[in-house]
Amino acid sequence: MYHSQLFIDGRWASSSSERHLDVINPATGEVEGSVAHANKDDMDRALAAAERGFEIWRKTSVFERSKIMRAAATLVRSRADIIAPMIVAQAGKPLAEAKAELASAADVLDWFSEEARRTYGRVITPRFANVTQSVVKEPVGPVVGFTPWNFPVAQIVRKVGPALAAGCSIIIKGPEEAPAAPVEFFKCLHDAGVPAGVIGLIFGTPAEISSYLIPHPTIRKISFTGSVQVGKHLAAMAGSHMKRATMELGGHAPVIITSGVNLQQAADVLLPTKFRHAGQACVAPTRFLIERSVYREFIDLFKAKCESLVIGNGTDEKTTLGPVNSARRLEALEAYVGDALEKGATLECGGSRVGDQGYFFAPTILSDMTTDMRIMNEEPFGPIALMMAFDSVDDAIAEANRLPFGLAAYAWTSDLCIANKISRSVESGMISMNHFGLAIPETPYGGIKDSGIGSEGGLEAIEAYLNTKFVTQMDPA
């Protein structure tokens, strides 16, 4: 049982109201821990601490900031064996995936620690010899970040990394469903030397926290990862208070597969990408758009690989497919399958829940999909792959662009002209062709259209935490 507290002003504490929420293990459906529920007093203390923390951190040299961040990354690596089982117990993913998430989080911190030293401004050639014009980059100020349960640590580091690199303080509203690993991650930051107030971690009722912190004058920027619906609500709130916002929202990733490619290699790469964390990743491939001449062959290869997945509790090292995160998600997946079958889809495999303990859903392939089916329009966020045939690449691109989402897209093709056409025409923030190459620290990570605003990777991620100030100065007369 893990009992997770709030981290405010460099100290761990229960909620001042002593209120707690239960944490459920999705593999058993049973209570496996608790998390402190912040109230208004806790939020006020977190805000005051973030204001003080900002004054300290913005004046800390970038070399020192960078050193502390690197030390935190080293601690994350050295404590991964302790933290990973917490991710398994509360987010439900297999142990190997939990370890990979922590390795990636440490890499993200390392990368931002290096980039911290390169937040340069520039000098603009003046119109008069006695004038100096410069562009200076300054941290935006205290930030609040809202992060979900699917990657409990990796989602936090994508906000904390650039915020710390830029010189901002940050309060994270972490995932109430999986709080234990975030707590350990914050311990790594604290033990590495991040001063009190620079980072805060709170949990509670999401709507209560967002509606108090976003409008609060202390907060200068918000960053949210989660569903499109909630993202639009929070972005509107941020807009009405003129706060900058980064939004990392849902997707419905198309995968265009043309004839002439190595279909086995495509299936080998796409299967773990699709079923990673039981399909609960915003970049999970979802709509498989396959050229008709290889449609059946690809489905058969993908299906054969599907059979190799081992469903179970992530604590078992053999497990490759864990549960989904809640009973609510199970019901949603069952409803999507029912609706698709009613409208003419073919069930290739899976299609229903597995066992009656925990929230397991069988790896599922639906073929003969049509665009009137709900699951072809709403993000499934579960272990379901949708197969649809196409006759021309133009049709596939039109289908890829049909939805309001624009996060990740994938394509397999050996034709350079088609590859160029896809990369120019598909409306998405990221496209990965003939391999899975997304979500590394040095590359942009974010969506367009309803999938969000801004990027949480690469140089663009730090830029989002910096103000641009123009300074022009004439030599004194």
> Given candidates 206, 343, 395, 401, which one binds ligand NAD under the rule CB under 6 A?
206
Q: Confirm or reject binding of residue 182 to ligand NAD (CB under 6 A).
A: no
- Say how many residues touch ligand NAD, by CB under 6 A: 19
Cα distance between residue 187 and residue 33, in whole Å: 18
**66 versus 364: smaller Cβ distance to ligand NAD:** 364
- If binding is defined by CB under 6 A, does position 474 make contact with ligand NAD? no
Residues with catalytic function: 248, 282
Does residue 249 touch ligand NAD according to CB under 6 A? yes
Q: How far is CA 159 from CA 162, 168, 193, 197, 259, in A?
A: 6, 11, 18, 16, 40
Residue 5 binds ligand NAD, judged by CB under 6 A: no
Which residues, 382 to 441, sit near ligand NAD by CB under 6 A?
A: none
Among 49, 166, 230, 340, binds ligand NAD (CB under 6 A): 230
Residue 118, token pair as written in the block: 């390169």
**Cβ 43 to ligand NAD shortest distance, Å:** 13
Site string for ligand NAD, 336-375 (x = CB under 6 A): ----------------------------------------
Per the CB < 8 A criterion, the answer to whether 102 and 80 are in contact is yes
Q: Which is nearer to ligand NAD, 68 or 430 (CB)?
A: 430
Considering the rule CB under 6 A, would residue 465 count as an interface residue with ligand NAD?
no
Closest CA to 44 of 64, 80, 73, 17: 17
Report d(CA 348, CA 174) in Å as an integer. 38
Work out which of 115, 248, 450, 456 binds ligand NAD, going by CB under 6 A.
248
Smallest gap from residue 132 Cβ to ligand NAD (A): 44
Helix (H) or strand (E) holding 75: helix 62-78
The correct pick among 53, 142, 152, 175 for binding ligand NAD (CB under 6 A) is: 175
Residue 148 found at the interface with ligand NAD (CB under 6 A): yes
Told to check if 98 binds ligand NAD by CB under 6 A, we report no
**Nearest 5°: phi and psi at 173?**
-95, 100
Q: Measuring CA to CA, how many Å separate 344 from each of 88, 218, 341, 371? A: 37, 54, 5, 11
Of 33, 204, 226, 429, the one binding ligand NAD by CB under 6 A: 226
Alpha carbon 155 to its chain's center: 5
Q: Are 116 and 62 in contact, with CB atoms under 8 Å apart?
A: yes
Closest to ligand NAD by CB, 398 vs 440, is 440
Question: What residue type is assigned to position 217 of the chain?
Answer: P
Residue identified by tokens 């397999």 is 412
DSSP labels, 230-289: HHHHHHHHHHHTT-EEEEE----EEEEE-TTS-HHHHHHHHHHHHHGGGG-STT-EEEEE
What does the alpha-carbon distance between residue 361 and residue 355 come to, in Å, rounded to a whole number?
9
Q: Which is nearer to ligand NAD, 233 or 421 (CB)?
A: 233
Q: Does 259 bind ligand NAD (CB under 6 A)?
A: no
Q: Which two tokens stand for residue 123?
A: 């000098």
- The two beta strands, 20-25 and 30-36, are antiparallel
Q: How far is the CB of 331 from ligand NAD (least distance, A)?
A: 11
Phi and psi dihedrals of 62, rounded to 5?
Answer: -65, -30
CB of 429 to ligand NAD, least distance (A): 12
Q: Which is nearer to ligand NAD, 230 or 238 (CB)?
A: 230
Q: Assess 225 for contact with ligand NAD (CB under 6 A).
A: yes
Is residue 150 part of the contact set for ligand NAD (CB under 6 A)?
A: yes
By the rule CB under 6 A, 379 interacts with ligand NAD: yes
DSSP state of 229: H
Instruction: Choose the stretch contacting ligand NAD; rule: CB under 6 A; options: 109-117, 192-200, 226-234, 453-461.
Output: 226-234
Q: Which residues bind to ligand NAD, rule: CB under 6 A?
A: 146, 148, 150, 175, 206-207, 210, 225-227, 229-230, 234, 248-250, 282, 379, 381
